[in-house]
């Protein structure tokens, strides 16, 4: 029971923005190959939206809609290559205001170029381990993302992040949110 003097424990929130998947790519949606056991388990134990749709079939605009809650024509991100304007309220801003620590890991696709994403284009996320366009920083089984200092972090396997020993907040975010371990 919560009282006035006891803090309310907020639930952990993990949001997955995936690209280029059919509705039946994951086990939770009917794929029998057991390719996504961790994702399936989280979806079964948490809140999962089975029927969601986007009016934006392209990556950047779809991500802008999901991050900002605005139509692509309102945010200005109506095709790939158009950044989300700095200062646009995103999921991160709302979670930050509610007292959460926010982190983003993976493909962003909402910054102005293919370079490491600078803080003003990170949508308000506090911790960062991402690449703006993974297609330009990755190849099979080897991905390069960038931490909050715009330093390269090489991911060589699904559960391994290789970085210099001076691991900072990005490695803590990776460990906390994605169960990644330092090499």
Strands 181-182 and 160-162: parallel
Q: Is 48 a catalytic residue?
A: no
| Phi, psi angle pair for 19, to nearest 5° | -120, 150
Least Cα distance to 100 among 6, 180, 14 occurs for: 14
Euclidean distance between the first and final Cα of the chain, in Å?
42
Q: How far apart are CA 46 and CA 163, in angstroms?
A: 31
Rg of the chain on CA atoms, in Å = 17
Alpha helices in the chain (DSSP H): 37-45, 59-68, 72-75, 91-97, 169-178
Q: 59, 150, 162, 183: which is the annotated catalytic residue? A: 59
CA torsion 127→112→13→34, rounded to 10°? Answer: -110
Tokens read off for 149: 């200092």
Q: 51, 109, 162, 183: which is the annotated catalytic residue? A: 109
Q: Is 29 a catalytic residue?
A: no
Residues acting as catalytic residues: 59, 109
């Amino acid at each position: 029971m919560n009282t006035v003097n006891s803090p309310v424990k907020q639930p952990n929130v993990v949001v997955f923005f995936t690209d280029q998947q059919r509705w039946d790519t994951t086990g939770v949606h009917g794929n029998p190959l057991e390719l996504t056991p961790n994702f399936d388990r989280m979806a079964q134990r948490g809140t999962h939206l089975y029927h969601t749709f986007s009016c934006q079939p392209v990556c950047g605009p779809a991500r802008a809609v999901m991050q900002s809650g605005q139509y692509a024509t309102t945010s200005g991100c109506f095709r790939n290559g158009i950044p989300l304007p700095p200062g646009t309220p995103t999921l991160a801003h709302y979670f930050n205001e509610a007292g959460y620590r926010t982190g983003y890991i993976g493909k962003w696709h909402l910054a102005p170029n293919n370079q490491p994403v600078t803080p003003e284009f990170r949508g308000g996320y506090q911790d960062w381990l991402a690449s703006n366009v993974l297609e330009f920083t990755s190849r099979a089984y080897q991905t390069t993302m960038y931490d909050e200092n715009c330093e390269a972090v090489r991911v060589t396997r699904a559960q391994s992040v290789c970085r210099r020993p001076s691991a900072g907040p990005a490695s803590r975010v990776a460990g906390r949110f994605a169960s990644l371990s330092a090499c």
